[in-house]
Amino acid sequence: MKSFTYLILYILAQNSVNSEKPFKSIPVTVKTYENDTVLLPCYMDEMEAKLRVRWYKDSKLLGDSHTPHEILPPRVRMHTNYSLQVDQLQAQDTADYTCEIIRPEPWGPIRQTHSIEVQYSPTIKTIPEDGFLEVRKGEYVDIGCETSGTPPPIVDWRKNGEAMALLEHRSRIRFRAEHRLLAGVYECLANNGVGEPARATITVVIQDAPVVSSERVYVHTAIGLRAALAAKLDFAVPPARTAWYRDGRPVKTDDRIVQMVQDNTHQLIFRNVRKQDLGNYTFRAENKLGMADLMFRLTGVPNAASFKVDVALNKASATSFTLIWEVDSYSTIIEYNLWLRPYYGRLATPEPDSFTTETPVNHWSKIVVPGDSSDGPIHSQIYTVRGLTPSTVYEAIVTSRNRFGWSKPSSILHFATEPGAGRTLPSTSDYTDITPILEESESEPPHNISHAQILGHVNEMSSGARETPCLAAILIISLLIFHLS
């Protein structure tokens, strides 16, 4: 009796360890498509006639060989050889299918599991469903692409056509609309290797105060000419009211002074400038989230001059150098002021401490150069500076005056004199073969040019270029915060 019990236990143990050994069929995963037919086998080496076989879908009973026609759902058949056939496959047929063979006592049931995966190409449902989201600056943007498809699709995102990193294929993106440039077209792409990937877009609009810019806020003109002030409305969501002001009052327009709007460029046009038109103007754009002002100056004074670099003409000697510059002025140039001083700073970025210790007293000297008698608008001037020190780097700036006044200073020109006869070069000199180099200068009045920071120059374009990585950082940080919380 005791030994018989052991035998049963032994058989049971064998069954549980090697439960699939008696099967001649092997477990399969069938990857297939909609409307296909699949046949799942279930047979043993020595198939006994009076076996009882049950099929399960996941863990739910699907069919029993003792009652073959009672519980089988539509599209599913069990053959006399116990194979299970599923016709016209649909998405819900994706499951594990287990065949269970119930054997006579004392043997327990044995099971074998197959899988069916009905592959579907991906589809996307966007959040929000209409693919459009408008928020105020500072509010949260919550967008997503809910995907379906078998196998589960992987989601990738692009913003305005650029891949977005670090999203770990998530289907939902949430971030704070910290900056209007986070607005744009967010596109999700879902791919599972079946058929074509699916795409969907969500347009995110961020409302903020308007942004205005201009290529030229300092507009040179002369009496009797046509002049135009042009402001660009770079951003206006929601749409902005715009107006031109002079001295705090709206500009009165008539047939001579007209406003024109084309695309996002707003112009104030003077068809025939009169003396009283010269002055300061403001372009203002305003919406419920704020306003932006841009100051313009309509002036008769010359534009800032620019030095010309031409090795053939910039004749250098030990003690002289020939400078060439050009200036736009609709009126005769009365005189130029040429500002000159030896250059002690480094042409490369100065090191902060060496800069303060090295810089000796370094005053600008002014040379008055007479103007020409031409009416312009382009005035060229050549001037040879004499009495310079050999082997020295100089910097030069020029300003111009017509009957309306003094122009803004030109960009800085760096140039060097030749080594002098009988003098040895200072061994540390970096500048022996320097060619003239122009540097951008910020507009600063020439009488206060003794500041070193005149070399600093920021324009709208470069600040725009810096914005992008910063925005990416904001977005990534926002996403990480959401990920953690």
Ligand X SMILES: *[C@@H]1O[C@H](CO)[C@@H](O)[C@H](O)[C@H]1NC(C)=O
The smaller minimum CB distance to ligand X, of residues 119 and 411, is found at 119
Q: Which of 159, 246, 297, 341 binds ligand X (CB under 6 A)?
A: 297
The smaller minimum CB distance to ligand X, of residues 435 and 443, is found at 443
Task: Work out how close the CB of 35 gets to ligand X at its nearest, in angstroms, rounded to a whole number.
Answer: 4
The smaller minimum CB distance to ligand X, of residues 359 and 450, is found at 450
Q: Which of 18, 37, 81, 123 binds ligand X (CB under 6 A)?
A: 81
Selected range binding ligand X among 7-15, 27-35, 214-222, 390-398, rule: CB under 6 A: 27-35
Residue with tokens 């060097």: 416
Q: Which of 41, 63, 371, 436 binds ligand X (CB under 6 A)?
A: 41
**Interface with ligand X, residue 34, by CB under 6 A:** yes
Selected range binding ligand X among 31-39, 317-325, 335-343, 385-393, rule: CB under 6 A: 31-39
**Interface with ligand X, residue 83, by CB under 6 A:** yes
CA dihedral 253, 256, 261, 262 (to 10 degrees): 180
Q: Look at strands 335-342 and 393-402 and give their pairing.
A: antiparallel
**Interface with ligand X, residue 123, by CB under 6 A:** no
Residue 334 CA, distance from chain mean position:
49
Selected range binding ligand X among 255-263, 349-357, 446-454, 458-466, rule: CB under 6 A: 446-454
Looking at residue 476, what DSSP letter applies? H
Looking at residue 403, what DSSP letter applies? T
Task: Work out how close the CB of 300 gets to ligand X at its nearest, in angstroms, rounded to a whole number.
Answer: 12
**Interface with ligand X, residue 79, by CB under 6 A:** yes
Residues contacting ligand X: total by CB under 6 A = 15
CA terminus-to-terminus distance, the chain: 64
Selected range binding ligand X among 33-41, 53-61, 104-112, 132-140, rule: CB under 6 A: 33-41
Selected range binding ligand X among 7-15, 105-113, 144-152, 443-451, rule: CB under 6 A: 443-451
Burial 353-381 (b: 16+ CB within 10 A, else e): eeeeeeeeeeebeeeebebeeeebeebeb
Residue type, 178: E
**Interface with ligand X, residue 448, by CB under 6 A:** yes
DSSP per residue over 443-466, as a string? ---GGGTT-GGGG----HHHHHHH
Residue with tokens 């500009």: 251
Q: Cα separation of 55 and 88, whole Å?
A: 19
Q: Which of 374, 450, 459, 462 binds ligand X (CB under 6 A)?
A: 450
**Interface with ligand X, residue 35, by CB under 6 A:** yes
Q: Cα separation of 218 and 167, whole Å?
A: 46
Q: Look at strands 227-235 and 218-220 and give their pairing.
A: unpaired
Q: Which of 447, 457, 466, 483 binds ligand X (CB under 6 A)?
A: 447
On the 0-12 / 13-18 / 19+ scale of CB atoms within 10 A, 116 is buried
Map residue 470 onto helix, strand or coil.
helix
**Interface with ligand X, residue 149, by CB under 6 A:** no
Which residues of this protein are in contact with ligand X, per CB under 6 A?
Answer: 33-35, 41, 43, 79, 81, 83, 279-280, 297, 447-448, 450-451
